[in-house]
Amino acid sequence: MAVSMGMKVIKYLLFVFNLLFFLIGLALVVAGALVQTKFRMYFVFFGDQVNVAAIMLIAIGVIIFIVAFFGCIGAYMENHCMLMTFSVLLTVIFILEVAAAIASYMLKNKLKDMITTRMLETMETHYLDPEVQSAWDMTQQKLKCCGAENYTEWMTSQRDYQVPQSCCINSEDCEKGSEDDPYGDKIYKAGCADGLIEYAKGHMAVIGGVALGVAFIEIIGIILACCLGFAINKDSKDYTPM
């Protein structure tokens, strides 16, 4: 028993689609690893959300490998059960991605308050926790900023009313000056919260764009698998042995 010529075309399209899906799974695993690498120094300010998101990307990538296996084998063997399993699993992944996109959009609106609050909290333990100190120092040097919303926050939260050395534009010339303007132009004066938010939003936009592309491909895969599965099921019912 074999499917019609039109369904054979769909069969091979689905097979090619699943090879692409394998690559998408690999891309998501790589993306999750990159998120952990790129945002590792900022985990102190984002809490566990970024780390959880990275792990979820890796997990989804691995799941996609398994789902693509069902699709490839089902298409190759013209197995109705495996193709329907593939369609159901792909639909579940699609729904989870939509839910994750909605959650990310809602989190995006709360990002500024969340990061600013977390930054102000960690300023109190800057000199007590080496991990926090390292995160602040790297952030301030990389983003060329000082404090959460401005540099004066350090002067009210830290010992001796000093800003950390990482706030200094030139570490060799960063002595306090007059009382009215202690540091003059020797330090970065813009806060880090806005820069960190823009950094996060830029990467979130890239991830969002990739997710939309993956979702579009998933819809095509669901349609192809259903068409082929129904055709195989119909042909099996119509088939009468000679």
What six digits make up the tokens of 60? Answer: 């989804």
Closest to 45 in 3D by CA, of 191, 151, 171, 159: 191
Task: Identify whether the C-beta of residue 71 lies closer than 8 Å to the C-beta of residue 49.
Answer: no
Q: What is the pLDDT of residues 132-167, one digit of tens each?
A: 888 888 888 888 988 888 888 887 765 556 788 888
Residue 239 has pLDDT above 80, yes or no: no
Coil, strand or helix at 9: helix
Q: What is the pTM of this model?
A: 0.64
Closest to 187 in 3D by CA, of 136, 149, 150, 138: 150
Residue carrying the six token digits 């991990």: 131
Sequence-distant (6+) residues with CB within 8 A of 165 are 137, 171, 174
Coil, strand or helix at 123: helix
Percentage of the chain lying above the pLDDT 90 cut = 0
Residue 180 has pLDDT above 60, yes or no: no
Mean pLDDT of all residues belonging to the chain: 76
Mean pLDDT of 13-35: 81
What pLDDT is attached to residue 171?
Answer: 67
Sequence-distant (6+) residues with CB within 8 A of 192 are 119, 139, 140, 143, 145, 146, 147, 148
Question: What's the pLDDT band for 178 if we cut at 50, 70, 90?
Answer: very low
What pLDDT is attached to residue 5?
Answer: 65
Q: Which of 60-64, 177-181, 193-197 has the lowest mean pLDDT?
A: 177-181
Instruction: For residues 38 and 42, give the distance between their C-alpha atoms in angstroms, rounded to a whole number.
Output: 8
Q: What is the pLDDT of residues 49-82, one digit of tens each?
A: 667 777 877 888 888 888 888 778 877 777 778 7
Residue 241 has pLDDT above 70, yes or no: no
